Amino acid sequence: MKIAYYKVNTKKKSKLFMLFGIGISVIAIIWAAIFFFPVSERPEKSFFQLEDDRPMVIAHQGGEHLAPSNTLVAFDQAVNLGVDAIEFDIHMTKDGHLVAIHDPTVDRTTDGKGKVNDMTLEEVIALDAGYYFNDLNGEYSFRGLGIRIPTIDEIFTHFSNTRMVIEIKDSNRPELYESIVDELWTKINQYDVQDNVLVASFNQDIIEMFIDKAGDEVAISGGRSEIKRFVIFHKLLLNSLYSPKVDAIQIPIQEGNFNLKDKKLIRGAHARGMDVHYWTINDRTTMEKIIELGADGIITDRPDIALDLLGE
């Protein structure tokens, strides 16, 4: 049996190695360009500018554990405590008014029942918004005191000089989204609070509607899909390919398998010109951790704890 010998073309082999080396070099250069490409940051909005370098304390629903949520009483108490911003949620009534309430129904927080979208303003404001609030002592200390669900007009009138995070709830009926965006933008301009609001929603479609309406005139927080897009680009080390339309992301410390309580993630957001706010943080230990990591904001039901911690 004869053994066949094949002569390798050394010139061809060298050429293949050379082409392979060039390919690897090109890929490395492209990756390095992407990774180290200088980022042009979004200009920081007035909303985010604090006098000192510390996280913003944002009273979630006015401080939901301290007073009836989304009420003028809660907002007043939060402002008196010294918070940097109040946060509230908006739904639209049947007759087109924006009111501050977290749920799509009035059932959980008031003595009434029904969907906000199906009720008139007169019906909504007739309810006791302190009825079910249970204070830190386990008492219904705000029941029967005449506390109402406030309108956006009342909030803007009383707190025009206070920072406000306004979440447009996607639990409103989808056919109302555009009307809500239009009405909110009208009210923001009417009360001249452009510099003092951060508009948010979990639904990125709502955010896009608001951006189309307001442009770059107010601070915007990204919706779920925008946040997911940023996190994926960040994890793949492709931050420079991510170009946000928003000024902030508001995130939990954990989302599924993703640990979002991450210094590198915060730095990555900063590199793209975005602030990072964490929700809803109510214990001192977690607050200490995210402050240490460099978070820009703490959204909390217990603003008293956050302010006490930052005051040490």
Query: Active-site residue numbers?
Result: 60, 102
**Taking the CB of residue 213, how many other CB atoms lie within 10 A of it?**
17
Q: Which residues contact 37 (CB under 8 A, 6 or more apart)?
A: 240
Sorted by sequence, the CB contacts under 8 Å of residue 63 that are 6+ apart come out as: 74, 77, 78, 81, 83, 300, 301, 302, 303, 304
Q: Are strands 275-278 and 297-300 parallel, antiparallel or unpaired?
A: parallel
DSSP letter string, 255-272: ETTEE---HHHHHHHHHT
DSSP H stretches of helix in 136-176: 152-158
Tell me 239's DSSP state.
Answer: G
Q: Roughly what angle, to the nearest 10 degrees, separates helices 204-214 and 177-190?
A: 40
CA distances (Å), origin 110, targets 97, 106, 123, 222: 18, 6, 12, 30
H or E element: which one contains 77? Answer: helix 72-81
The dihedral over CA atoms of 247, 299, 86, 118, expressed in degrees to the nearest 10, equals 90
Residue 300: strand pairing partners: 59
* 3-state class (DSSP) for residue 86: strand
Helix (H) or strand (E) holding 15: helix 10-36
Q: In this structure, what token pair is assigned to residue 34?
A: 């992407």
